[in-house]
Amino acid sequence: MTISSGLNWNDTRCIVCMQEADLSIEHIIPRSIGGILTCRFLCKSCNERFGAGFEADARIAPEIRKAAGQHGESISDLRDRLEVGARYKQSFGDNDRTAELRKDRVLGAAKLNDSSLIVPEMEAAQKIRSILGKSGASDREINSAVKSWEAAPPNTEVDLGHGVFIKRWQNHPARPTYDEPALSPIVPLKIAFEFVSLILGGAVYLRNHTLQEVRRILTDQDEASADALIEVGLATASAPFHGIAFQGNRPNAQVQVRLFGTLSFTVEFPGLGIKTAPITYTHDLRTGVEEIRSKARNS
């Protein structure tokens, strides 16, 4: 089955807090990492708590960005969006600078260890005018300094007057630090729980102990408890995709979450059995095509 829109939900209660509410659209796989499968089954409060909590950091988690980067130009738009806000490091002589990547794919201004200021080249003239203006330079001096900057040879220090020196650095590539927080285990647990909810339908509201415990973990954002339910692995994948699969009861219900094809999370729901055939959802990140496939049970 190919999906062309969000999935329907025939209840007015939030699947997490269980309260009657005006339900909001939830991305089962976070939109911040390219997810597009949606269902209106979370209240606004739970949705916003997730979005401002563990989902907010998912986009720049190092393993997410590395997994996306393995697919190169085939998902370049998504890959580049994931890098916005990530930290990059550059070396300038004996000095290093670390700055966050902006939406325009440029590193912002930052001070080096020697207190000098590194500024994106496109903003250098404006910064020179600002600094010299505050130093009491005349308009003529400022215009002359900007011309000196524009004519400056690469990697050569130029005196602009008023104690201001500039150097047009070249060939100083930036490297990601990958020191941001790792992906929270609550992310794959949330994905798996919401997929199980889609399978169970109204039965998800039953006071099952396992489902109640998962709700508590999600509400409290209890990473230690979430981690205990998840087995993390790496898979080989030639194509970039997101996927969720109910794998059956082994003996407990198991759901595998795949992100960018290579990141694999097997989530176990202790004491929970689901009487249905294995079912798989996939989202091709190159084409946007979504599919749901069900494997018929043996008679």
Q: Could you state, in order of their start, the residue ranges of all structural domains in the chain?
A: 2-64+182-294, 87-176
Residue 299 predicted with pLDDT over 80: no
pLDDT tens for residues 199-224? 999 999 998 999 999 999 999 999 99
What is the residue type of 179?
D
3-state secondary structure the chain: CEECCCECCCCCECCCCCCECCEEEEECCCHHHCCCCEEEEEEHHHHHHHHHCHHHHHCCCHHHHHHHHCCHHHHHHHHHHHHCCCEEEEEECCEEEEEEECCCCCECCEECCCCCEECCHHHHHHHHHHHHHHCCCCHHHHHHHHHHHHHCCECCEEEEECCEEEEECCCCCCEECCCCCCCCCHHHHHHHHHHHHHHHHHHHHCCCHHHHHHHHHHHHCCHHHHHCCEEEEECCCCCCEEEEEEEEECCCEEEEEEECCCEEEEEEECCCCCCCCCEEEEEECCCCCEEEEECCCCC
Across the range 155-170, mean pLDDT stands at 88
pLDDT tens for residues 11-69? 999 999 999 999 999 999 999 999 999 999 999 999 999 999 999 899 999 999 999 99
pTM over 0.75: yes
pLDDT tens for residues 221-233? 999 999 999 999 9
